[in-house]
Amino acid sequence: MNVLDVLKSPASRVPTPLECPLEIVDLPAPDKVLIPLEYPGQILFWPLVQVGDEVACNQVIGRSERNNFIHASISGKVVELKTMWAARSFHVPAVVIEKSDAPPLAGDELLRQCNIDPQSPTRVDLLRAAGVISPWTTPGRDDSEEDMADYPDIQHIVIKGVNQEPTICSFRVLLRTRSKEIQQALVRLSEIVPKARVKLAVSQTDADWAADAFADLAHVVPLPNDFRNRIERQYVRRLTGVKVPNNASYRSGGVAVISVEQLLDMYDALEGRPCILKTVTITSSRDFKPVTVRTAVGTSLGDLLASQGLVVEDGDRVIMGGPMSGTAQFTLDTPLSKFQAGIHVLKAQDIIADVNFICVNCGRCTRACPVNLQIHLIGRCVEFDQLTQAQTYHPEACIDCGLCAYVCPAHRPLLQMVKMASNYRG
Ligand code: SF4
Ligand code: SF4
């Protein structure tokens, strides 16, 4: 099955996950990286370097007010500090580094540069020094750091061994190719949060293998091979039995949800290795074999796609994330941050329409919506600039699955409309 079949699947009107090769291609360090000094909507780093500075790979180049750190993912010279478009269409500050042959920082130096005593680092010290923010301490999109004091202890941990987006395979590929490290990471996890129940969500295809590989370390839960069963908010609720409102963080309900990649990043951090690499699946709607690569954080989309011989032509859309709920990119200079797991190139001939067609009242969007939103009404309110009215239909409950837009015969940008209504602060 190719990518187009996955997205069109007319029989069920629900996309089926793509099967990718179970291997990771390691890319050489790019000649230049652009490191965004931002974690989407949460933590802004202040640069600790200036233009002209020579930096080593793994060197801290930014620090947040909460004492989290971000690192150079290659050795080289800082050639620019500028603002740029990040993957989710925020304009953020960034450090641009051009490659040199200098050796990476290693050993105790990694901790000393963060003013941490290498003789007695705590777990939190190690995570922060490695640029990993633990899910136990990170507030969600509507929570502040102060809210944390009222949160219950972590009772459930759900580890994502499959991606929600049908064209992204990176979590599954990591699960299959780094299973030994994941086993060790699960042991460490049980030491950190001994009372939590750990569930590992895997693809149906991996169920038997995973049950053997992770027996005694996690309760393996296979997710059926269709998109609806992989919508994260839905299956997390099913697996834990905890009803966290869709616009609140899991953490506020005593639940932590991490991907296998974040689990491995935490493990690496506790072993003293900073988080400077990212694993990402690249797909295209035409003539391209899906591939999962590992590359330096800060690699530009242009360099990443060129490394795979994927040519972006006029009219093509490059989507960070997947086609169901990813974000079309404004420029190929956008760098990979720690938060993207997939890139999808939608070729011009596969883009159905650029216009906002009229709603035909078919009701498919509302029937498809897993959280039962009246999306056709929200869409119409947004269309006619009645954003206050749109908010009475609770667009904030949307879980970003993209199904409404996928099934709409008028090809209306419903997810964007729902987001517009949800974000309106009139
Ligand atoms: S409104 Fe659309 S994107 Fe949001 S949950 Fe419903 S179907 Fe999914
Ligand atoms: S699926 Fe599209 S056309 Fe049908 S009711 Fe929803 S918005 Fe209207």
pLDDT of 143 reads 54
Query: How many domains, in total, are found in the chain?
Result: 4
Q: Is the dihedral of CA 373, 377, 379, 381 positive or negative?
A: negative
Rounded to the nearest angstrom, the distance between the alpha carbon of 358 and the centre of ligand 2 is 8
Lowest mean pLDDT among 50-64, 282-296, 304-318, 354-368: 354-368
Pocket test for ligand 1, best of 231, 247, 398, 412 (most atoms within 8 A of CB): 398
Average pLDDT over residues 174-184: 96
Q: What residues pair up with 291 in beta bridges, in sequence order?
A: 282
Paired tokens of 24: 């990771």
Coil, helix or strand at residue 93: strand
- Is 97 within the bounds of a domain? yes
Do 49 and 8 lie in one domain? The reply is no
- Is 135 within the bounds of a domain? no
Pocket test for ligand 1, best of 400, 407, 408, 412 (most atoms within 8 A of CB): 400
- Tell me which DSSP letter residue 3 carries: H
Q: Which residue has the higher pLDDT, 192 or 232?
A: 232
- Which residue, 270, 287, 315, sits at the end of a domain? 270
Coil, helix or strand at residue 297: coil
d(CA 20, CA 281): 9
User: Is pLDDT of 65 > 90?
Assistant: no
Do 341 and 374 lie in one domain? The reply is no
Q: Which band of pLDDT confidence, cut at 50, 70 and 90, is reported for residue 304?
A: very high
Q: Confirm if 177 and 264 have CB atoms less than 8 A apart.
A: no
User: Is pLDDT of 85 > 90?
Assistant: no
Looking from the CA of residue 231, the nearest atom of ligand 1 is 8
d(CA 310, CA 328): 16
Nearest CA to ligand 1 atom 1: 398
Do 11 and 54 lie in one domain? The reply is no
For 157-216, the DSSP string reads EEEESS-SSTT--HHHHHHHHSHHHHHHHHHHHHHHSTTSEEEEEEEGGGHHHHHHHTTT
Rounded to the nearest angstrom, the distance between the alpha carbon of 16 and the centre of ligand 1 is 17
pLDDT of 3 reads 55
Do 107 and 207 lie in one domain? The reply is no
d(CA 156, CA 240): 7
Q: Which residue has the higher pLDDT, 423 or 53?
A: 53
Lowest mean pLDDT among 55-64, 197-206, 319-328: 319-328
Cβ count within 10 A of residue 286? 14
User: Is pLDDT of 6 > 60?
Assistant: no
Rounded to the nearest angstrom, the distance between the alpha carbon of 165 and the centre of ligand 1 is 14
pLDDT of 32-54, one tens digit each? 999 988 766 566 789 999 999 99
User: Is pLDDT of 203 > 90?
Assistant: yes
Domain that includes residue 36, residue range:
31-129
User: Is pLDDT of 12 > 50?
Assistant: no
Do 91 and 110 lie in one domain? The reply is yes
Task: Find out whether the beta carbon of 357 lies less than 6 Å from any atom of ligand 2.
Answer: no
- Is 140 within the bounds of a domain? no
Q: Which residue has the higher pLDDT, 227 or 7?
A: 227
- Is 173 within the bounds of a domain? yes
User: Is pLDDT of 188 > 70?
Assistant: yes
Do 266 and 182 lie in one domain? The reply is yes
Do 42 and 123 lie in one domain? The reply is yes
pLDDT of 87-145, one tens digit each? 766 788 899 999 999 999 988 888 999 888 888 888 888 888 888 876 665 555 555 55
Q: Which band of pLDDT confidence, cut at 50, 70 and 90, is reported for residue 200?
A: very high
Q: What is the pTM of this model?
A: 0.90
User: Is pLDDT of 26 > 70?
Assistant: yes
- Tell me which DSSP letter residue 300 carries: B
Do 53 and 122 lie in one domain? The reply is yes
Average pLDDT over residues 66-79: 92
pLDDT of 10 reads 46
- Is 137 within the bounds of a domain? no
Do 225 and 162 lie in one domain? The reply is yes
pLDDT of 131 reads 85
Contacts of 151 (CB under 8 A, 6+ apart): 251, 252, 254
d(CA 166, CA 290): 12
